């Protein structure tokens, strides 16, 4: 009786598997999923096998029967979510079109950069040739410019060769007392009596605004008529140093151009030894009976060797442009702005020639003193 019941259960399960197979998709791309799913029994057999089942679980357990159905449904859902061949082909075509356009743009950009680089290289070659051709001319022009500047500076210093600067004299001394005061100072330096006459062509304070510091009066510029007397004054001023004149510290200095002063300032580190300035501008350094002349920066190594000192960082003083202090503005009335100026009618031309202004009235053939 029991054997007949087991055979009936096996036949029923086989019929259920056949019905499931029949409901599968007829055109499925995976034919193996359309095959009947064999149910594995606990004793290792299959439905319809003659072996006897030795399990406590009844044959019609719903959990055991629903597990294969759920797995199959999930697999089918995943397969249905996958894109079809048409969709994949369309996406691939779109990607190829987009990347092809990007590559075309990139190739055009690279071609433009290559053309620009080629143009720059050709331009660089032309500029290199032009610079190579112009460089010797620039060097020659710079040499000529240096010679001209040196010559002009020497001419300016020669025009000042008879001048002496008196520094430190208070501003309280007016123009009417400058000549007698300067003569008195010069006699003290030379060791001459107080009333000794010294020929002075001009005596005046330098042009410029008065300093706000009362302890720094403007310099007094004097032109000594005789060059030998002027040289004797500067020599005594070098030996004696500043002079006390009624409580004021007075110093005599040579009158030099601004460029010469700037060049001397650059060569100041070499002035520890015995030296002498020359014209056109050069420096003569002496040590141990040996003299060395410094005209250009190329002469510095020989001076360093003579003085037995390390190489000093001295700037090129022969360059046409030197750092020089700004000149003090000259006193005078400032012109009104352009918008405040009144238009004036042109003056009538005078047929008679205008005589040249006589700056310094002459007495006995020579300029009179201020």
CATH of residue 186's domain is: 3.30.70.1820
Same domain, 180 and 151: no
Same domain, 167 and 240: yes
Residue with the bigger pLDDT between 327 and 149: it is 149
Three-state helix/strand/coil letters over 221-266: EEEECCHHHHHHHHHHHHHHCCEEECCEEEEEEECCCHHHHHHHHH
Residue 183: give the domain boundaries: 162-255
pLDDT confidence of 351, banded at 50, 70, 90?
very low
- Give me 334's structure tokens: 């400032």
pLDDT confidence of 7, banded at 50, 70, 90?
very low
Question: Can you tell me the distance from the alpha carbon of 293 to that of 331, in angstroms, rounded to the nearest whole number?
Answer: 41
Same domain, 227 and 291: no
Same domain, 151 and 166: no
The tens digit of pLDDT for each residue in 110-132 reads 999 999 999 999 999 999 999 99
Asked if residue 52 has pLDDT above 50, the reply is: no
Least trusted range by pLDDT, from 83-87, 107-111, 221-225, 240-244:
83-87
Indicate the pTM of the whole model: 0.55
292 falls within a domain: yes
Same domain, 224 and 168: yes
Question: Can you tell me the distance from the alpha carbon of 268 to that of 283, in angstroms, rounded to the nearest whole number?
Answer: 11
The tens digit of pLDDT for each residue in 161-183 reads 999 999 999 988 888 999 999 99
Q: Is 201 helix (H, G, I), strand (E, B) or coil?
A: strand
Q: How many domains, the chain?
A: 4
Same domain, 8 and 38: yes
Same domain, 313 and 245: no
- Residue 348: CB atoms within 10 A of its CB come to 6
């Amino acid at each position: 009786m029991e054997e007949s019941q087991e055979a009936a259960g096996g036949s029923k399960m086989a019929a259920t598997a056949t019905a499931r197979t029949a409901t599968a998709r007829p055109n499925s791309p995976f034919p193996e999923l359309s095959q009947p799913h064999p149910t594995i029994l606990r004793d290792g057999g299959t439905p319809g096998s003659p072996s006897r089942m030795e399990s406590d679980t009844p044959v019609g357990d719903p959990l055991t029967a629903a597990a294969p159905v759920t797995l199959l449904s999930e697999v089918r859902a995943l397969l249905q979510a996958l894109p079809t061949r048409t969709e994949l082909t369309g996406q691939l075509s779109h990607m190829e079109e987009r990347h092809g356009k990007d590559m075309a743009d990139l190739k055009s950009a690279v071609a433009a950069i290559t053309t620009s680089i080629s143009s720059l290289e050709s331009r660089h070659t032309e500029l290199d040739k032009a610079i190579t051709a112009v460089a010797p001319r620039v060097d020659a022009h710079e040499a000529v410019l240096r010679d001209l500047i040196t010559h002009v500076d020497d001419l300016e210093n020669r025009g000042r060769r008879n001048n002496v600067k008196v520094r430190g004299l208070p501003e309280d001394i007016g123009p009417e007392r400058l000549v007698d005061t300067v003569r008195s100072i010069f006699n003290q330096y030379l060791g001459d009596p107080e009333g000794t006459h010294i020929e002075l062509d001009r005596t005046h304070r330098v042009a410029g605004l008065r300093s706000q510091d009362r302890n720094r009066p403007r310099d007094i510029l004097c032109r000594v008529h005789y060059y030998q007397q002027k040289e004797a004054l500067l020599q005594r001023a070098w030996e004696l140093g500043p002079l006390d004149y009624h409580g004021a510290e007075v110093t005599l200095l040579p009158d030099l151009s601004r460029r010469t002063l700037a060049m001397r300032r650059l060569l100041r580190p070499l002035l520890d030894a015995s030296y002498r300035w020359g014209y056109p501008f050069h420096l003569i350094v002496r040590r141990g009976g040996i003299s060395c002349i410094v005209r250009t920066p190329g002469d510095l190594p020989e001076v360093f060797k003579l003085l037995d000192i390390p190489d000093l960082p001295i700037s090129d003083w022969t360059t046409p442009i030197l750092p020089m202090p700004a000149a003090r503005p000259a006193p005078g009335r400032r012109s009104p702005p352009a918008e405040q100026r009144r238009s004036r009618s042109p003056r009538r031309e005078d047929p008679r020639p205008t005589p040249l202004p006589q700056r310094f009235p002459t007495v006995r053939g020579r300029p009179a003193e201020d």
